[in-house]
Structure 1
Amino acid sequence: MPQRFGRPGLLGTVARTAVISGTATAVSNRVNRRMSDREMNRQLSAQAQQQAQRDQAAAQAPAPPPPPAGTDRVDRLSALADLKAQGLLTDEEFATEKARILNS
Protein backbone atom coordinates (compact mmCIF):
# COMPACT_ATOMS: atom_id res chain seq x y z
CA MET A 1 0.00 0.00 0.00
CA PRO A 2 1.44 3.31 -0.93
CA GLN A 3 2.23 5.74 1.86
CA ARG A 4 -0.01 8.69 1.87
CA PHE A 5 1.08 12.25 2.54
CA GLY A 6 -1.09 15.22 3.32
CA ARG A 7 -4.46 15.06 4.94
CA PRO A 8 -5.33 11.90 6.87
CA GLY A 9 -8.06 9.65 5.67
CA LEU A 10 -11.32 8.96 7.47
CA LEU A 11 -9.85 6.22 9.65
CA GLY A 12 -6.92 8.43 10.69
CA THR A 13 -9.28 11.28 11.60
CA VAL A 14 -11.47 8.98 13.69
CA ALA A 15 -8.42 7.54 15.47
CA ARG A 16 -6.98 10.99 16.19
CA THR A 17 -10.37 12.19 17.52
CA ALA A 18 -10.64 9.14 19.78
CA VAL A 19 -7.17 9.74 21.22
CA ILE A 20 -7.89 13.42 21.84
CA SER A 21 -11.28 12.63 23.39
CA GLY A 22 -9.84 9.93 25.65
CA THR A 23 -7.04 12.22 26.79
CA ALA A 24 -9.48 15.05 27.51
CA THR A 25 -11.72 12.73 29.51
CA ALA A 26 -8.80 11.39 31.54
CA VAL A 27 -7.55 14.90 32.32
CA SER A 28 -11.05 16.09 33.22
CA ASN A 29 -11.59 13.13 35.56
CA ARG A 30 -8.27 13.73 37.27
CA VAL A 31 -9.00 17.43 37.75
CA ASN A 32 -12.44 16.63 39.19
CA ARG A 33 -11.00 14.00 41.52
CA ARG A 34 -8.31 16.36 42.80
CA MET A 35 -10.86 19.13 43.37
CA SER A 36 -13.10 16.69 45.24
CA ASP A 37 -10.19 15.52 47.39
CA ARG A 38 -9.22 19.10 48.22
CA GLU A 39 -12.79 19.98 49.19
CA MET A 40 -13.04 16.89 51.37
CA ASN A 41 -9.76 17.78 53.09
CA ARG A 42 -11.03 21.33 53.70
CA GLN A 43 -14.24 20.00 55.22
CA LEU A 44 -12.39 17.54 57.45
CA SER A 45 -10.02 20.26 58.56
CA ALA A 46 -12.90 22.62 59.34
CA GLN A 47 -14.70 19.89 61.31
CA ALA A 48 -11.56 19.10 63.28
CA GLN A 49 -11.08 22.79 64.04
CA GLN A 50 -14.68 23.16 65.21
CA GLN A 51 -14.37 20.08 67.41
CA ALA A 52 -11.16 21.44 68.92
CA GLN A 53 -12.90 24.74 69.67
CA ARG A 54 -15.84 22.92 71.28
CA ASP A 55 -13.46 20.80 73.36
CA GLN A 56 -11.54 23.88 74.44
CA ALA A 57 -14.75 25.73 75.35
CA ALA A 58 -15.99 22.73 77.31
CA ALA A 59 -12.70 22.52 79.18
CA GLN A 60 -12.83 26.21 80.06
CA ALA A 61 -16.49 26.23 81.14
CA PRO A 62 -16.84 26.06 84.90
CA ALA A 63 -18.54 23.00 86.28
CA PRO A 64 -22.01 23.65 87.65
CA PRO A 65 -22.07 23.82 91.43
CA PRO A 66 -23.30 20.66 93.09
CA PRO A 67 -26.77 20.85 94.60
CA PRO A 68 -26.93 21.29 98.34
CA ALA A 69 -26.34 17.92 99.93
CA GLY A 70 -29.34 17.40 102.15
CA THR A 71 -31.94 19.85 100.88
CA ASP A 72 -33.64 17.47 98.46
CA ARG A 73 -33.65 14.57 100.90
CA VAL A 74 -34.97 16.74 103.70
CA ASP A 75 -37.80 18.02 101.51
CA ARG A 76 -38.72 14.50 100.41
CA LEU A 77 -38.60 13.18 103.99
CA SER A 78 -40.77 16.08 105.17
CA ALA A 79 -43.34 15.34 102.48
CA LEU A 80 -43.23 11.67 103.42
CA ALA A 81 -43.77 12.50 107.12
CA ASP A 82 -46.72 14.72 106.17
CA LEU A 83 -48.29 11.84 104.24
CA LYS A 84 -47.83 9.54 107.23
CA ALA A 85 -49.30 12.16 109.60
CA GLN A 86 -52.35 12.44 107.35
CA GLY A 87 -52.78 8.69 107.57
CA LEU A 88 -52.14 8.08 103.88
CA LEU A 89 -49.11 5.84 104.54
CA THR A 90 -48.74 2.86 106.84
CA ASP A 91 -45.73 2.47 109.11
CA GLU A 92 -44.27 -0.15 106.77
CA GLU A 93 -44.69 2.06 103.67
CA PHE A 94 -43.16 4.99 105.53
CA ALA A 95 -40.15 2.91 106.63
CA THR A 96 -39.64 1.52 103.12
CA GLU A 97 -39.77 4.93 101.43
CA LYS A 98 -37.61 6.51 104.14
CA ALA A 99 -34.92 3.85 103.60
CA ARG A 100 -35.09 4.35 99.84
CA ILE A 101 -34.69 8.13 100.17
CA LEU A 102 -31.81 7.84 102.61
CA ASN A 103 -30.00 5.28 100.44
CA SER A 104 -30.28 7.33 97.24
Structure 2
Amino acid sequence: MNHDIVDSDRVDLHRRVALVLRKEPGLQRDFAERLRSKLARPRSAATVSDNEWEWYIILTLWSPLQVIRLLEDSSERGIRLRQDSPFVFLLSTAHRRGVTPDPD
Protein backbone atom coordinates (compact mmCIF):
# COMPACT_ATOMS: atom_id res chain seq x y z
CA MET A 1 0.00 0.00 0.00
CA ASN A 2 1.56 3.30 -0.98
CA HIS A 3 1.83 6.46 1.12
CA ASP A 4 -0.89 8.36 -0.78
CA ILE A 5 -3.45 5.61 -0.21
CA VAL A 6 -2.62 5.45 3.50
CA ASP A 7 -2.98 9.24 3.78
CA SER A 8 -6.28 9.14 1.90
CA ASP A 9 -7.58 6.38 4.18
CA ARG A 10 -6.48 8.34 7.26
CA VAL A 11 -8.26 11.50 6.06
CA ASP A 12 -11.38 9.45 5.28
CA LEU A 13 -11.36 7.86 8.75
CA HIS A 14 -11.16 11.25 10.45
CA ARG A 15 -13.91 12.68 8.28
CA ARG A 16 -16.08 9.77 9.37
CA VAL A 17 -15.22 10.40 13.01
CA ALA A 18 -16.13 14.08 12.51
CA LEU A 19 -19.46 13.02 10.99
CA VAL A 20 -20.18 10.73 13.95
CA LEU A 21 -19.34 13.55 16.39
CA ARG A 22 -21.62 15.95 14.51
CA LYS A 23 -24.49 13.49 14.95
CA GLU A 24 -23.58 12.47 18.50
CA PRO A 25 -21.32 15.05 20.19
CA GLY A 26 -21.59 13.17 23.49
CA LEU A 27 -19.42 10.42 22.04
CA GLN A 28 -16.43 12.71 22.47
CA ARG A 29 -16.68 12.09 26.21
CA ASP A 30 -16.87 8.33 25.58
CA PHE A 31 -13.80 8.51 23.32
CA ALA A 32 -11.91 10.48 26.01
CA GLU A 33 -12.85 7.90 28.65
CA ARG A 34 -11.75 4.97 26.48
CA LEU A 35 -8.47 6.69 25.74
CA ARG A 36 -7.99 7.45 29.44
CA SER A 37 -8.52 3.76 30.20
CA LYS A 38 -5.90 2.83 27.63
CA LEU A 39 -3.45 5.39 28.99
CA ALA A 40 -4.00 4.13 32.55
CA ARG A 41 -3.03 0.53 31.77
CA PRO A 42 0.45 -0.09 33.20
CA ARG A 43 1.74 -2.05 30.23
CA SER A 44 0.52 0.43 27.66
CA ALA A 45 1.42 3.64 29.53
CA ALA A 46 5.08 3.15 28.63
CA THR A 47 4.22 2.78 24.94
CA VAL A 48 1.84 5.74 24.73
CA SER A 49 2.90 8.38 22.24
CA ASP A 50 2.96 12.11 22.90
CA ASN A 51 0.22 12.43 20.28
CA GLU A 52 -2.04 10.09 22.23
CA TRP A 53 -1.57 12.22 25.36
CA GLU A 54 -2.28 15.31 23.26
CA TRP A 55 -5.44 13.68 21.87
CA TYR A 56 -6.57 12.87 25.42
CA ILE A 57 -6.16 16.52 26.42
CA ILE A 58 -7.98 17.65 23.28
CA LEU A 59 -10.87 15.22 23.79
CA THR A 60 -11.13 16.20 27.45
CA LEU A 61 -10.88 19.99 27.20
CA TRP A 62 -12.07 21.00 23.74
CA SER A 63 -15.65 21.39 22.60
CA PRO A 64 -17.03 18.90 20.05
CA LEU A 65 -16.98 21.62 17.37
CA GLN A 66 -13.29 22.33 18.02
CA VAL A 67 -12.48 18.61 17.79
CA ILE A 68 -14.46 18.28 14.55
CA ARG A 69 -12.55 21.22 13.07
CA LEU A 70 -9.24 19.64 14.07
CA LEU A 71 -10.22 16.29 12.56
CA GLU A 72 -10.84 18.01 9.23
CA ASP A 73 -7.96 20.49 9.49
CA SER A 74 -5.28 20.49 6.79
CA SER A 75 -2.79 22.38 8.96
CA GLU A 76 0.54 20.86 9.95
CA ARG A 77 -0.81 20.15 13.45
CA GLY A 78 -3.94 18.47 12.11
CA ILE A 79 -1.89 16.28 9.78
CA ARG A 80 0.58 15.40 12.55
CA LEU A 81 -2.17 14.43 14.98
CA ARG A 82 -3.97 12.29 12.39
CA GLN A 83 -0.77 10.34 11.73
CA ASP A 84 -0.84 8.88 15.24
CA SER A 85 -4.52 9.13 16.00
CA PRO A 86 -6.21 6.96 18.62
CA PHE A 87 -9.44 6.82 16.62
CA VAL A 88 -8.75 3.46 14.96
CA PHE A 89 -8.55 1.94 18.45
CA LEU A 90 -11.42 4.05 19.80
CA LEU A 91 -13.78 3.32 16.91
CA SER A 92 -12.95 -0.37 16.98
CA THR A 93 -13.82 -0.45 20.67
CA ALA A 94 -17.01 1.51 20.11
CA HIS A 95 -18.12 -0.74 17.25
CA ARG A 96 -17.46 -3.87 19.28
CA ARG A 97 -19.67 -2.49 22.06
CA GLY A 98 -22.33 -1.31 19.63
CA VAL A 99 -21.96 2.31 20.73
CA THR A 100 -21.63 3.84 17.27
CA PRO A 101 -23.01 2.84 13.93
CA ASP A 102 -20.62 1.17 11.52
CA PRO A 103 -19.28 3.96 9.27
CA ASP A 104 -19.60 1.80 6.13
TM-score category, normalised to shorter length: under 0.3
Q: Which has the higher contact order (CA 8 A, sep 6+)?
A: 2
- Bigger Rg over Cα: 1
TM-score, L = length of structure 1: 0.27
